[in-house]
Homo-oligomer: A and B are copies of this chain.
Amino acid sequence: MSNDAKTRAHEAAAPATGSGTHGKSTINDVARLAGVSKKTVSRVINDSPLVRPDTRQKILSLMQEMGYAPDPQARGLAFRRSFLIGLVFDNPTAQYIVNLQYGALDALRDSGFELVVHPCDSKSEGYIEGIKRFAQQQKLYGVILIPRVSEDQALADALKEIGCRYVRIASVPMDEPANMVLTHDRQAGAEAANYLESLGHRRVALITGPKRYRSSIERGGGFTEALAKRGIELPPERVYEGGYTFESGVAGAEALLTRHPRPTAIFACNDEMAAGVYKAALRMGLSIPGDLSVVGYDDSPLASQLWPALTTLRLPVRDLGRQAAAMLLAENWPRAAQAQAGISVSPHLVVRDSCQPPQA
């Protein structure tokens, strides 16, 4: 992944030992010591081609030597744009947020950009105004939108209106390619279905997330679709709408497992709900995978900590974050971003110990 950093100077090492004056040198100091105008130094900072190679080299090593790094605030003021990337999210799991941050920071490392976190409540009145103000006031360079806010077209429109770059992480294309990182939830849901079918399961059940989450619709839809393609029906009484929470997983499993005949496998649309299924099964005296096979989604730390370890769909969240941030930094947005958008980030099945063929 090419690092389209705006400037090389940001990679400046610590002030060279012994350089003296408190490491607070400015562009003027560099210019004076190099015997050029500050405009020339500025050109070097901004990787302009309009500098003679030897001049550039001389200035570059001088900056290195002095431990000079341009002041982001001064640059921002002149550019009318900051070097901050906003991370906007509603209420995903802690693990999701943190992994996304790590990924985004991977891409921002040594670029001179920093990551500013901005949680919000998409159900509150005027939350879009809040984000707009955040973007405008800080003159954000760009914004990364995480589900569920990424799915809000009104938010995207607001951002576009004020001219703020953004990238939406979502399960289906709902914007220009340059503004999207896709998570392919439908395909992953199908993988879960195919896996269970291949083990021999015919009476399977589904615990979805809330309908207002596009991911939930895609995961559940892909699952149902793939099942149908293999000739397996999923009647409404074997589908439970959960809330992506542990408790809803418990409730869903309790509802589904009291049906007769009992399903032999459950696909929960996230790991938290799958953990809820474990609890319900344990309480009902059902063994996993003996009496019940379970598949989750996310591959959160939880998945490997459950016993038996949970078979689940791994969502490479850190990669999503890295990808989104890299697209935002792309030199010639949106052209370059679009090219990068081709790099796909897909979930895949991680087989552990929570599934086996159904008992005869």
* A139 close to B (CB within 8 Å): yes
A276 neighbours in B (Cβ, 8 Å): 305
Copies of this chain: 2
* A283 close to B (CB within 8 Å): yes
Q: Are B94 and A246 in contact (CB under 8 A)?
A: no
Bound-state Cα–Cα, A282 to B353, Å:
15
Q: Are B117 and A101 in contact (CB under 8 A)?
A: yes
A69 neighbours in B (Cβ, 8 Å): 133, 137
* A116 close to B (CB within 8 Å): yes
The distance from the CB of A167 to the nearest CB of chain B, in whole angstroms, is 18
A305 neighbours in B (Cβ, 8 Å): 246, 272, 275-276, 279
Q: Are B23 and A136 in contact (CB under 8 A)?
A: yes
Q: A98-B98, A105-B119 are in contact. Are A139 and B246 (CB under 8 A)?
A: no
Bound-state Cα–Cα, A74 to B77, Å:
6
The distance from the CB of A107 to the nearest CB of chain B, in whole angstroms, is 14
A97 neighbours in B (Cβ, 8 Å): 94, 98
* A129 close to B (CB within 8 Å): yes
Report whether over half of chain A's contact residues are helix, strand or loop; otherwise say mixed. Answer: helix
* A72 close to B (CB within 8 Å): yes
Bound-state Cα–Cα, A101 to B100, Å:
14
User: A133's contact among B14, B74, B136, B246, by CB below 8 Å, is which?
Assistant: B14
Bound-state Cα–Cα, A283 to B282, Å:
14
Q: Are A117 and B105 in contact (CB under 8 A)?
A: yes
* A82 close to B (CB within 8 Å): yes
A77 neighbours in B (Cβ, 8 Å): 71, 73-74, 77
Bound-state Cα–Cα, A71 to B72, Å:
14
Interface residues of A in 93-133 (CB under 8 A from B): 93-95, 97-99, 101-102, 105, 114-119, 129, 132-133
A14 neighbours in B (Cβ, 8 Å): 129, 132-133
Bound-state Cα–Cα, A136 to B97, Å:
27
- 0/1 per residue, A13-50, Cβ < 8 Å to B? 01000000001000000000000000000000000000
User: Looking at A69, A118, A307, which has the most chain B CB atoms within 10 Å of its CB?
Assistant: A307
8 tightest A-B contacts by CB? A94-B98, A94-B94, A94-B95, A73-B76, A279-B307, A73-B77, A246-B305, A114-B116
Give the interface of A toward B (CB within 8 A): 14, 23, 69, 71-74, 76-77, 82, 84, 93-95, 97-99, 101-102, 105, 114-119, 129, 132-133, 136-139, 246, 272, 275-276, 278-279, 282-283, 301-302, 304-305, 307
